[in-house]
Amino acid sequence: MTVASAPTRRTHTVRQAAALGRRAVVRFARQPSSWLPATVFPLLLVAVNASAMGGVADIPGVVPPGTTFLMFLLPAAIIQGVMFGGINGGSELATDIQGGFFDRLVASPVSRPAILVGRLSGAVAFGVVQAVFFQVVLWPFGADVVGGPAGRLVLVIVAALLSLGLGSIAAGLAARTGQPEAVQGFFPLIFILLFLSSAFFPVELMSGWYRTLAELNPLTWMVDGMRVQVLEGFSLSAAATSIGVCLGICAVGMLFATQQLRRRLAVAS
């Protein structure tokens, strides 16, 4: 009996993860109930906020001259869409566990890391599509990116990393509970964190405990770093702040997902 070499095992793992990633993307695309809310709802919320609070842009110091409040809201739209997609990715893993597909994967010679990587790659792909989609759709209405191609790339990178981070947390919850409802119940918590940030309103115009929470919220640091690319121009330091927050979320999420997947595999074995 020949033992596969380490490079061969790694090659098999990559191929298996790619196959599972394609399955996740195709399955997600075939279910409008999964991606339609993540596309329509952020656009509706941005449209309402831009109409209701567009006059905020006339206040000195809120947005730079020549920019619009819609540009101010562009990062919020991207993050909202990414949140929907990341949570749905974890929910799909819970559905696989509940439906028995996960058990069939465990019984097959599929690499264990490929199971998690394949599912998360689907969430990352959707995050990238969302970041590009919102930039393209809102651009004709005045949501330009002053940072140009480099600034736009930063928005896409942040979206991809945030998808990975939130998707891994959702995947960990899926592996822990095996219940799609438990994963979906996580969404209101992170949505509240988004509203307690600078995503929809400038921190400078907040007051009291709300402003304190917004200033301490890591999502504010991430959003503000993205907003600099949109309103002021490409900034490496601002990009590093946004990406750094996302990497922190990824680190916590991947640790949690890996631990819970090992636990699930131990139970399934």
| Ranges of each domain in the chain | 31-268
The mean per-residue pLDDT over the stretch 224-250 comes to 94
Q: Please check the confidence at residue 32 and state whether its pLDDT lies above 70.
A: yes
Q: Please check the confidence at residue 245 and state whether its pLDDT lies above 50.
A: yes
28 alpha carbon, distance to own chain's centre: 15
The pLDDT of residue 241 is 95
The pLDDT of residue 143 is 86
Task: Give the residue, 86 or 257, on which the prediction is more confident.
Answer: 257
* Angle made by CA atoms 115, 119, 122, in degrees to the nearest 5: 150
pLDDT band at 1 (very low <50, low <70, confident <90, very high): very low
- Are the CB atoms for 20 and 118 separated by under 8 Å? yes
Q: Please check the confidence at residue 254 and state whether its pLDDT lies above 60.
A: yes
The pLDDT of residue 6 is 57
Q: Please check the confidence at residue 33 and state whether its pLDDT lies above 80.
A: no
pLDDT band at 2 (very low <50, low <70, confident <90, very high): very low
pLDDT in tens, 115-161: 888 888 888 888 898 899 999 999 988 888 999 999 999 999 999 99
* Angle made by CA atoms 93, 165, 263, in degrees to the nearest 5: 50
- Rg over alpha carbons for the chain, rounded to the nearest Å, is 20
SS3 200: coil
The mean per-residue pLDDT over the stretch 181-205 comes to 84
181 alpha carbon, distance to own chain's centre: 19
The mean per-residue pLDDT over the stretch 194-202 comes to 88
Report percent pLDDT > 90 for the chain.
33
The pLDDT of residue 23 is 80
Q: Which two tokens stand for residue 194?
A: 């988004």
pLDDT in tens, 42-61: 888 888 888 877 677 777 77
Angle at which helix 112-138 crosses helix 32-52, to 10 degrees, equals 40
Q: Please check the confidence at residue 70 and state whether its pLDDT lies above 50.
A: yes
- Are the CB atoms for 114 and 17 separated by under 8 Å? yes
The pLDDT of residue 27 is 77
The pLDDT of residue 137 is 92
